[in-house]
Amino acid sequence: MTDLAAIASHLDTVLGTETIPDYPGAFNGVQLANDGPITHIAASVDVSRRVIDAAIRSGANLLLVHHGMMWGGAQRITGATYDRLRLLLAHNIAVYSSHLPLDAHPTFGNNVLLAGTLGLEPSGGFARYRTIDVGVRGECDCATTSLFSRADAFARMHGGVARSTEIAPARRTRRWGICTGAGASSETLLEAEALDLDTIVVGEGPHHTAVAADDAGLVVIYAGHYATETLGVHALAEHLTSTFDIPSTFIAAPTGL
């Protein structure tokens, strides 16, 4: 029988939770504790009422997520926030969250796994945040339209759809970068130019990134914030199942974004 402390200690070590920088609202690690041994793990991208209800139905008492319980700083425990917390406490469900440590992980990370899903082989880092590369980059020689089709098929599997800046029919991708989630920003576009990348795959980004990328001759493929961040928690849950012999369930809860 394995308790939350043992699983959390293992995850903190594997993910480098204490050493990977992140945004102030991330609160990586255990966000909500529980009592007794962990008997079933549910994994999902977000903490939402829909996810919590599905975790309860699955019999899980540990919810492993990429986006944690709160992001906007201190807030009142009322309304939907209260309802989510009440259900978690009532059903003895712990919450463990991993944001950038999971994005950047070389084995279980969203970025390295998305590269593999798209048939790409990483050879370096991309999307620098403070002391780490959150994303990955590499080289290939493939039609950009083909890469987009692969990204779109992946997005549709997760309830979304891929979009991109304009792609000429004969265009080829030779130097690419990936940053899942909200990966398109002014900073990542400047970094892509500095690294001489011609194509980047992200989850989403502001409208101005499409304008700036087109002017710079860079193709951006927006494959969906939710879709591109399903891979890490799924892989991490399977790792825990293998390591601790605890069953796990992936809970799909697409946001359409």
Residue 90 shares a structural domain with residue 159 = no
CA 81 – CA 160 distance, rounded (Å): 26
Residue 87 shares a structural domain with residue 169 = no
Q: How many residues does the chain have?
A: 257
In this model, does residue 72 exceed pLDDT 80? Answer: no
Helix (H, G, I), strand (E, B) or coil at 240: helix
Domain membership flag for residue 234: no
Contacts of 191 (CB under 8 A, 6+ apart): 126, 127, 128, 177
Domain membership flag for residue 191: yes
Q: Helix-strand-coil percent breakdown of the chain, rounded to 5?
A: 40, 20, 40
Q: Which residue's structure tokens are 């500095």?
A: 194
Q: What share of the chain has pLDDT > 90, as a percent?
A: 96
Mean pLDDT of the chain: 97
Query: According to the model, what pLDDT value does residue 24 have?
Result: 86
Residue 33 shares a structural domain with residue 87 = yes
Of 75 and 37, which is predicted with more confidence? Answer: 37
> For position 185, which CATH number holds?
3.40.1390.30
Residue 109 shares a structural domain with residue 215 = yes
Residue 157 shares a structural domain with residue 87 = no
Helix (H, G, I), strand (E, B) or coil at 200: strand
Query: According to the model, what pLDDT value does residue 70 have?
Result: 86
In this model, does residue 184 exceed pLDDT 90? Answer: yes
Residue 145 shares a structural domain with residue 182 = yes
Q: Please provide residue 31's backbone torsions phi and psi, each rounded to the nearest 5 degrees.
A: -105, -25
Domain membership flag for residue 28: yes
pLDDT in tens, 129-174: 999 999 999 999 999 999 999 999 999 999 999 999 999 999 999 9
Residue 111 shares a structural domain with residue 221 = yes
Query: According to the model, what pLDDT value does residue 234 have?
Result: 98
Domain membership flag for residue 94: yes
Domain membership flag for residue 254: no
Residue ranges making up the domain that contains 92: 4-98
pLDDT in tens, 216-257: 999 999 999 999 999 999 999 999 999 999 999 999 999 999
CA 249 – CA 173 distance, rounded (Å): 36
Residue 70 shares a structural domain with residue 129 = no
Residue 15 shares a structural domain with residue 79 = yes
204: tokens are 């989403």
In this model, does residue 210 exceed pLDDT 90? Answer: yes
Q: What share of the chain has pLDDT > 70, as a percent?
A: 100
Q: Packing angle between helix 231-244 and helix 110-117, nearest 10 degrees? A: 110
pLDDT-derived band at 74 (thresholds 50, 70, 90) equals confident
CA 104 – CA 29 distance, rounded (Å): 15
**Stated pTM of the model:** 0.96
Q: Is the dihedral of CA 110, 224, 49, 80 positive or negative?
A: positive
Domain boundary at 67, 98, 129, which? Answer: 98
Please tell me the total count of domains within the chain.
2
In this model, does residue 73 exceed pLDDT 80? Answer: no
List, as one string, the DSSP characters of 67-135: S-S--SSS--S-HHHHHHHHHHHHTT-EEEE-SHHHHT-TTT-HHHHHHHHTT----EEEEEETTEEEE
Domain membership flag for residue 169: yes
pLDDT-derived band at 71 (thresholds 50, 70, 90) equals confident
Residue 140 shares a structural domain with residue 202 = yes
Mean pLDDT calculated for residue range 75-85: 94
CA 89 – CA 119 distance, rounded (Å): 42
